[in-house]
Structure 1
Amino acid sequence: MLTRATTLCAIFASLAFNVQAKQTVTVTGSTSVSHVVEVLAENYSNAHQETFIAVQGVGSSAGIAAIKKEAADIGMSSRYLNADEINPDVTTVTIAHDGIALVVNKDNPVSNLTREQVSKIYHGEINNWNQVGGPDLKMAVVSRENASGSRFSFEDFMGLTQQIAGQTVSDINPQVLVVNTNGMVKSLVSRNVHAIGYMSLGSVDDSVKALAFDGVPPTLENLESGKYKISRPFMMLFKEKKLKPSAKDFIQYVTSEDGQAIIDQRGYIAVHNQ
């Protein structure tokens, strides 16, 4: 006759076996891309109980480095790779396209900024909202950390870089406030009427106000038509020869009709629409 202790041991052993039996696929990189990949991972895991997709948003540069060092199965990037990051062993797959939206507090009456105004704001030449048609309030300018794909794409598009010793480096005002994620940008801007920042268009919600850029609102339709110009790719990276079957299957799911439908629903441009 089985004792209660024996039964409990058997249950715990079974649970431990089930956890160990699950295959784990590690996905790391861009915090912008992770926002939608977490949803894709949850849907995939619901249909594939034997696989656990572990998603970590740590920045595009970190995701690219992780793949080169084979520290993760799949990397995520919200920017194209630099020349010194390109490796013949690394394969890249574009899974979606996203816009970068300039965002301000909902109580800020400013609704549009030009390229010249944005450049001057991030260079520190414009520092009061009354210089762009707003109230007499000092600006609190927010940017992302150096490893961010959003920052790389934003600065590259806006011309906020300079060449030093053959390297492209940031040329923004060193006094801007730097934060680590889209969520932190959104939280800070939503609570501060002085603030302006930029973030993934797919992450914008009604807690902040997205500005038109050069007269064009940052909508999915304007992004898809090419009218809204501040855009960038969402990419997955991996080493084909090192890719385990479960990781390969997840990538195939992301680029399938089902995966792309989720990307559409989340406010991004799916690659099958291109």
Structure 2
Amino acid sequence: MLKTIISLLTLGLCVTSATVQAKETVTVAGSTSVSHIMDVLADTYSLTHKNTTIAIQGTGSTAGITAVKQGAAEIGMSSRIIEPTELEGDYKTVTIAHDGIALVVNKDNPVSNLTHQQVMDIYQGKITNWKSINGIDLDMAVVSRENASGSRFSFEHFMGLTKKVSEFTVSDISPRVLVVSTNGMVKSLVSRNKHAIGYVSLGSVDDSVKAVSYDNVFPTIAKVESGEYKIARPFLLMFKESKLDKDAQQFIKFVLSNQAQTIIRDKGYVSIDEKA
């Protein structure tokens, strides 16, 4: 009898172990802006795909691209255009949404609109006090994202805040700009500092900060969709097609589905069908 019980327990442990081992993990790494919505999509997907874990890692767009190329992630997330040279070797991309980049200031800051030239001058250190643009007499605390950020790449290229050095395109913002690693850190600094200005994913804007108009157009999803609000970029997924396993393929298919695109719209982004 004892031998029978031990045998059954052993069999049960083997079955449990096999069940645990059968659960697959799909690693998705990259843009912290994209990860904001991908976390929600991954949670939704997991409700009906119990044997698949979608691991979202917000590491920055460039880091996500590198992770895919090094085999550390099945799928990369990018909030900037991926260069053709980065796609050499069977790498593909799909657009899953579109997003604006909002300029944000402290809620007590009276400034409500910035022109293209004013934004350039602020980030190049030519305008250093809010009084110069009809604000209060306070020195500016200018916040930007780290070099690997897709938001920074898109922001600088749109604004013309780049320059050529030895045939390479590099940042042309002031070295005095405070650099942080996430949208959340930008919002935290701006919300606590009346001097501060920064930029974040439009989908990340909340009541902790104040979004301002750019060239007299206030950032909204409708105005990104119509093209009126110009500071916009795509959200992309990148992968190596020949190495994408079934679980990763199914997750990408879900992200492009009507169900996922509805979630994307509800969370404040432009879905791919709206932009088309």
Q: Which residue of 1 aligns with 2:225?
A: 224
Report the TM-score when normalising by structure 1.
0.95
Distance 2:55 2:22 in 1: 15
Distance 1:18 1:9 in 2: 14
Q: Which residue of 2 aligns with 1:19?
A: 20
Distance 1:7 1:32 in 2: 50
Q: Deviations over 1:223-274 (max 9, x none)?
A: 1110000000000000111000000000000001011111011100000112
Larger deviation, residues 150-159 vs 11-20:
11-20
One-letter amino acid of the structure 2 residue matched with residue 243 of structure 1: L
Q: Give the deviation of 1:155 after TM superposition.
A: 0.2
Q: Secondary structure at the match of 1:173?
A: coil
Report matched runs for 1:72-151 at 5 Å. 72-151=73-152
Shift in alpha-carbon separation, 1:14–1:152, aligned structure 2, 3 A:
same
Report matched runs for 1:186-225 at 5 Å. 186-225=187-226
Distance 1:191 1:16 in 2: 50
Shift in alpha-carbon separation, 1:144–1:12, aligned structure 2, 3 A:
farther
Distance 1:93 1:54 in 2: 19
Shift in alpha-carbon separation, 1:10–1:159, aligned structure 2, 3 A:
same
Q: Give the deviation of 1:6 after TM superposition.
A: 10
Q: Give the deviation of 1:12 after TM superposition.
A: 7.0
Q: Secondary structure at the match of 1:169?
A: strand
Identity %: 61
Q: Deviations over 1:68-106 (max 9, x none)?
A: 222210000001112432314100000000000000111
Distance 1:5 1:192 in 2: 65
Superposed CA RMSD: 2.0
Distance 2:192 2:20 in 1: 42
Q: Secondary structure at the match of 1:241?
A: helix
Q: Give the deviation of 1:19 after TM superposition.
A: 3.1
Distance 2:52 2:34 in 1: 20
Q: How many equivalent residue pairs? A: 274
Report the TM-score when normalising by structure 2.
0.94
Report matched runs for 1:235-254 at 5 Å. 235-254=236-255
Distance 2:124 2:170 in 1: 14
Distance 2:149 2:142 in 1: 17
Report matched runs for 1:1-40 at 5 Å. 16-40=17-41
Distance 1:239 1:58 in 2: 19
Q: Which residue of 1 aligns with 2:183?
A: 182
Distance 2:20 2:176 in 1: 48
Q: Secondary structure at the match of 2:247?
A: helix
Which runs of 4 or more aligned residues in structure 1 lie more than 2 Å from their structure 2 counterparts after TM superposition?
Answer: 4-20
**Runs of at least 5 residues in structure 2 that lack an aligned partner in the other structure:** none
One-letter amino acid of the structure 2 residue matched with residue 209 of structure 1: K
Q: Deviations over 1:105-133 (max 9, x none)?
A: 11111100000000000000000010111
Distance 2:237 2:245 in 1: 15
